[in-house]
Structure 1
Amino acid sequence: MNWSYLILILAATIAGGVIPMTVKRIHPNFSIYLLAFTGAFLFGVTIMHLLPEVYHELGHAAGIYIALGFFLQVFLQQLSHGMEHGHTHVPSEHHHHIAVTPLLLGLSIHAFMEGIPLGFHFEDRSALPSLMLGVAAHKIPEALTLITVMMHANKSRMELWRIILLFACVTPFAAILASQLGERFTVVTNSLVYVTALVIGAFLHISTTIFYESGTKHHELSRRKVMAIGAGIVLAFLTLLFE
């Protein structure tokens, strides 16, 4: 277990949560392009590093678990209301109440799933650092959206800090748990590749939703959003240099 990877993910999550707490007015396009960039980067890392790994280990059965992971994420977003891909769902004139518990539960389950592959021993030596960067990048807009919603739910500053610190620990905790249990129990070691396939499906759902939906009124791809996506894909290609 590389502790520096987990510290970076922890720091990225806290940084994302601090942005709406310290910046009084965030330009609406900031989150759109940040999501597009990080979503494309995560998509590229998933395709270039994680997919080959699980297909090498599981063969055609990998597709079954990837599909299950895709639809598992569909279920989870019924709880989180799509905060993973930038949906804020703040109160409107007609809806003043925010159901905080299901939002936190859905997003925390997703965050826990993100951490499990970080405890997996990949054959491709470039996979783990690439995945770490992809998850860390995704954590910034994810935490930003979470705290934005919590602020609209009238949480106190102390509560906001407690939420972001606890949320920031979920993914590193999952990685440590997967790594430690994987070293001690063969059944856990053998199961991690299946869980990684599920997470791939979730990543594919989140990243493709970001491409075509998040932050746009008519699901359009603007020129700047395409540029942000392109930059994320290029950065993902550069992770191949880790090999």
Structure 2
Amino acid sequence: MNYLLPVLAVLLSFAFIFLTKPRSRKEVRLLLAFSGAFLLALTVFELLPEVFAGPDPRLSGIFIMLGILLQIFLEFFSKGAEHGHVHMQNESNTFPWLLFISLSLHSFLEGIPVEKHGSILYGIIVHKVPIALVLSIFLLHSKMERYLAFMFMLFFSMMTPLGTFFAANSDWADTYYLPLTSLVIGVFLHISTVILFESSEGHSFNIRKIGVIILGIAVAYFM
């Protein structure tokens, strides 16, 4: 299931957009807010205690900061797709390689902690669904051939399971598990906090947004 669920989350989201053909992304905002809170809470409750209980907490902190910097770097190419919007022109009919590579690297990394923390898988899935919805809207309303859009989503969906497989079968990944997990924590912290900041218009108070954020934290705590 660790390998199958992320693939299904992405492909079913793509199928939903393909069949319903929505043009607006507004309906995804509350789901994004929930996913950001849920992922952030799981990171704080599950991953942070583990890496800081390790033999070198300061090194873990360094890798967390490197993860934040890595995600900032990746977003120069993904244009923010990891947190629910794509600041790219959709007039091109060519395969968006930079977007694909940056999202794939992000997805591969986030699969690494799943091997030892199964609950993180649910945070990743809840995170992937709104991202896949927004990405599908972007791809299907571009001038790209439909089969290329599908191939993009298919290979993108496989990256997180590949990260989990790598963590489960690589001696190198096992040896450097804590630094790698710390790196992923940095990625998660950056993405989840940006999602929470950007999921409302004008950063105005929104009782529904506050409600789903509290719900996301509560669900993560009781998992």
- Normalized against structure 2, the TM-score is what? 0.91
**Residue number among 3, 12, 33 corresponding to 2:9 in the alignment:** 12
Note the C-alpha offset of 1:111: 0.6
Q: Which whole-Å CA distance do the structure 2 matches of 1:221 and 1:166 have between them?
A: 38
**Residue number among 64, 68, 77 corresponding to 2:75 in the alignment:** 77
Q: Are 2:114 and 1:129 equivalent residues in the alignment?
A: no
Q: Which whole-Å CA distance do the structure 2 matches of 1:206 and 1:98 have between them?
A: 28
3-state DSSP class of the match of 2:2? helix
Note the C-alpha offset of 1:27: 5.4
3-state DSSP class of the match of 1:135? helix
Q: Which whole-Å CA distance do the structure 2 matches of 1:27 and 1:180 have between them?
A: 41
- In the TM superposition, 1:36-75 aligns within 5 A as 36-57=33-54, 58-75=56-73
Note the C-alpha offset of 1:96: 4.1
Instruction: Report if the CA contact (8 A) 2:111-2:160 is conserved.
Output: yes
Q: Are 2:147 and 1:163 equivalent residues in the alignment?
A: no
3-state DSSP class of the match of 2:222? helix
3-state DSSP class of the match of 2:177? helix
**Residue number among 185, 199, 203 corresponding to 1:200 in the alignment:** 185
Instruction: Report if the CA contact (8 A) 1:112-1:174 is conserved.
Output: yes
Note the C-alpha offset of 1:18: 2.0
3-state DSSP class of the match of 1:218? helix
The size of the alignment, in residue pairs, is 221
Q: Are 2:116 and 1:115 equivalent residues in the alignment?
A: no
Note the C-alpha offset of 1:60: 2.6
Question: Could you list the per-position Cα deviations for residues 128-164 of structure 1 after superposition, in whole angstroms to 9, with x for gaps in the alignment?
Answer: 1210111111111121122222123222332222221
Instruction: Report if the CA contact (8 A) 2:59-2:179 is conserved.
Output: no
Q: Which whole-Å CA distance do the structure 2 matches of 1:131 and 1:23 have between them?
A: 30
**Residue number among 140, 145, 150 corresponding to 1:151 in the alignment:** 140
Q: Which whole-Å CA distance do the structure 1 matches of 2:217 and 2:52 have between them?
A: 22
Larger mean Cα displacement after TM superposition, 67-76 or 155-164: 155-164
Q: Are 2:223 and 1:226 equivalent residues in the alignment?
A: no
- Percent identity over the alignment is 35
Question: Could you list the per-position Cα deviations for residues 25-72 of structure 1 after superposition, in whole angstroms to 9, with x for gaps in the alignment?
Answer: 265432101111111100010000000011112323211111111111
Note the C-alpha offset of 1:90: 5.1
3-state DSSP class of the match of 1:5? coil
Instruction: Report if the CA contact (8 A) 1:9-1:172 is conserved.
Output: yes
Other-structure match for 2:87? 89
Sort the Cα spacing of 1:154 and 1:26 in 2 relative to 1 into closer, same or farther, 3 A: closer
Instruction: Report if the CA contact (8 A) 1:16-1:142 is conserved.
Output: no
- Normalized against structure 1, the TM-score is what? 0.84
Sort the Cα spacing of 1:157 and 1:105 in 2 relative to 1 into closer, same or farther, 3 A: same
